[in-house]
Every structure is written in C-alpha cells, then in structure tokens.
Structure 1
C-alpha cells in the first residue's frame, strides 16, 4: 500500500489520519457523554482532564488532514456522480469544517479567558492578560453546540459507510479500511 491515495483506494497516510482521528474523536465525545450521564465523579474528572490536550491534537490532525486531502484531491477515489455524489461532497465539507471550527472556537475561548493553556508539557498559551469577553462568549456559545452537530455528522458518516457496505455493496468501506 502506497503513502498517497491512488484513485482506487486511500493511501496509508489518509487511512492513519482517518482512523487515528476517529479513535481520538471517540475518546473525546465519549468523555463528554460520560460527563453528561454520570455527572462529576473522579472517573469523569480524570477523562475530562484530557479534553483540552486531545482537542488540540485533533485540531492539528484536522489541519494536516485537510492539507493532505487537498494535496491528494486529484488522486482520491471517485465519488458517486449526480445528486448522491454532490451530497457526499457536501457532507464531507461540513464534516471537515466542523473538525476545524469546533476546536478553533475552543482555542479562541481559551485565549480570551486569560488563563494559561498547557498540553503535552508545552505552554500553548501563557495567559496572564485580561479576559476578552467576545472571545469567551464565542467559544461558550458555539463550541458545545457545534460539537453535538459534529457528533451527528459522524453518526451520519458512519451510517453512510455501512449503507455503502451492506446495501450498495460498492466496496467504498474497503477503500478506507
């Protein structure tokens, strides 16, 4: 299997980015759902403490994946034609946009809070400045709401992958598996 996409299937880099992000998103969204269901416990506090660092990692991977996807655009396996193909492209654009926008507004909120942000032993934002209200409001208003929308898009994406596999039987799933 080559590194690059090749028109018939996705390359190794695309697959690693796809499945790596899928696992991190499962962790991230699972931790949030656990917090909603179980409330504040030592377990939810422990997994909740990973939310910001994992979110930053997801943001970095989403940027890398978007750039990689653009570099491979002419090599990617062909989508369906007609309305179905246009809907698939639109769905992927929304998915990628949310993968970029959800952590972006969280980072804006973090900066606006004036508090430091450290992840993986690195200082990402030193903090120490006054709170910037519009930044904290932007993140507060949009981060959580759009994260739930992202979850809905992920469920739709998974549903369509299964539909391709078991109804249309067109090997779409094999190209990424």
Structure 2
C-alpha cells in the first residue's frame, strides 16, 4: 500500500460530510500553518455558547464532545488513511472546553485558558507525550488533548485561586 502525502490524505475529506466537518473543527483545521491553534480558536464560539449553561450541562456537553470526538477523529483518520493528521482538530475543540470548565467569566480568563491549553498541547510534557506516541485510533487522537486540557484546567484553576 502506497503512503499518502498529507495533501493527498486531506483531499479524501469533505466539509459536506458532517463527521469530517466536525473533525476539521468547522473547517479551521484546513489552515496551512498552525491548524491546532486555529482549531482551538474555532472552539471559542462554542465555548461562549456553552459558558452560560449551568455547570452540570456544561460538563455534559464537554463529555459529549470528548466521547463523540473519539468517533469523529477515528472516522476522519480512517477516511484519510493517516493517523492524527494535523487537520483533525476536534481534539483541540474538546481540550479547550475541558480547560475552561468552571472558568470565571471574562476575556482575560478565556485568553489564559487558551494559552495554557496551547502550551500543554504543543509542549506535550510527560505523560501527554507518552499517550500521543503510544495510543492510536480515535481514542489516541483525543487522549493527549484531553490530558492537556486537564493539565491546563488545573493551572487555570490555580491562577483563579491565586489571583482570587
């Protein structure tokens, strides 16, 4: 079987397919540079839509984003024939939603959460790097970003407590 180039793999997806549309972060994953950052940016309007909900509903929506994300990312990855292609950014969407669980309202906190999540997602400290390297399929695509989101959430909550 011939290995596909990144561009050839990307041509196998269609924004008209709802699973692909979500996997590509509403199209944001098609950015040529920094698709993960654009995918995280695409999560901001979704977060702003969910933020006013009671915490229980926000948590349910976030859990749904993670659980469905396993299927969404697996489906897109299989359709592309490439594991964890950079254009698949639903994991970043879910990761930011995790980071911002119970975050105070306001742009400074949203920005802090965004930066913290991107740092953990890019730097991949242990054990995030291990998950990224060893766990495959949709679960593997989601797992490292879920853990990056949890780490970023813990740091953000620490900032909230410290700055009070």
**TM-score, length-normalised on structure 1?**
0.30
The answer to which structure, 1 or 2, has the higher relative contact order (CA under 8 A, 6+ apart) is: 2
Per the normalisation by structure 2, the TM-score is: 0.31
